[in-house]
């Protein structure tokens, strides 16, 4: 399940991608908040994380705002998920980037819980790693499915 924070991040990035496809003008944070439904104060922190990751840029001044600096097809959803929500594996022993042995596990190779969740996770991983922001912008059905998975409270 994705968090509300991730949902806001995706909606903000979709707004920036739509603007990039249009006239490409920077969007002020107020406009991104309006389009994404995210509280401005919360969105500021999210956009800072995304900017620090190199997906967007910000400019100051009267005509300033945020712009997408990478093409939507170059922004993997799996990278965004990890950046915003942290590890995406259901168990720490299945994570590639944040691997940790489970405290109560005596034999990882024989762990039935790990085996069952590994099968589910690898299927999920194949799908999520194949998706980019372009899939969300160009295919509303994909966007709706991912965004509906988020909890309703921030």
In the chain, residues under CATH classification 1.10.10.10 are: 4-73+133-148
CATH says 4-73+133-148 is which class? Answer: mainly alpha
State pTM to two decimals: 0.80
Nearest to 154 by CA among 31, 37, 49: 37
Q: What stretches of 37-111 show up as alpha helix (H) in DSSP?
A: 40-52, 77-85
Q: What is the dihedral of CA 133, 53, 99, 153, to 10 degrees?
A: -60
Residue-level pLDDT at 108: 87
Q: How many Å apart are CA 91 and CA 8, to the nearest integer?
A: 25
Q: What stretches of the chain show up as alpha helix (H) in DSSP?
A: 4-21, 29-36, 40-52, 77-85, 112-128, 133-138, 140-148
Residue-level pLDDT at 95: 87
Residue-level pLDDT at 154: 45
Residue-level pLDDT at 153: 46
Average pLDDT by stretches of 10, the chain with 154 residues: 92 91 84 92 94 94 90 94 92 87 88 91 91 86 59 48
Residue-level pLDDT at 146: 59
Residue-level pLDDT at 30: 94
Q: How many Å apart are CA 54 and CA 123, to the nearest integer?
A: 28
């Amino acid at each position: 399940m994705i968090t509300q924070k991730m949902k806001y991040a995706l909606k903000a990035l979709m707004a920036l991608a739509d603007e990039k496809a249009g006239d490409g003008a920077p969007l002020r944070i107020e406009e991104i908040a309006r389009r994404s439904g995210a509280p401005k104060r919360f969105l500021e922190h999210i956009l800072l994380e995304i900017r620090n990751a190199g997906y967007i840029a910000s400019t100051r001044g009267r005509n300033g705002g945020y712009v997408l600096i990478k093409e939507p097809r170059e922004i993997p959803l799996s990278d965004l998920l990890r950046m915003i929500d942290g590890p995406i594996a259901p168990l720490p022993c299945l994570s590639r980037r944040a691997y940790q042995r489970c405290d109560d596990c005596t034999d990882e190779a024989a762990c039935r819980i790990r085996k069952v969740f590994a099968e589910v996770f690898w299927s999920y991983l194949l799908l999520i790693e194949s998706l980019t922001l372009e899939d969300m912008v160009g295919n509303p059905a994909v966007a709706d499915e991912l965004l509906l998975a988020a909890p309703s409270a921030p």
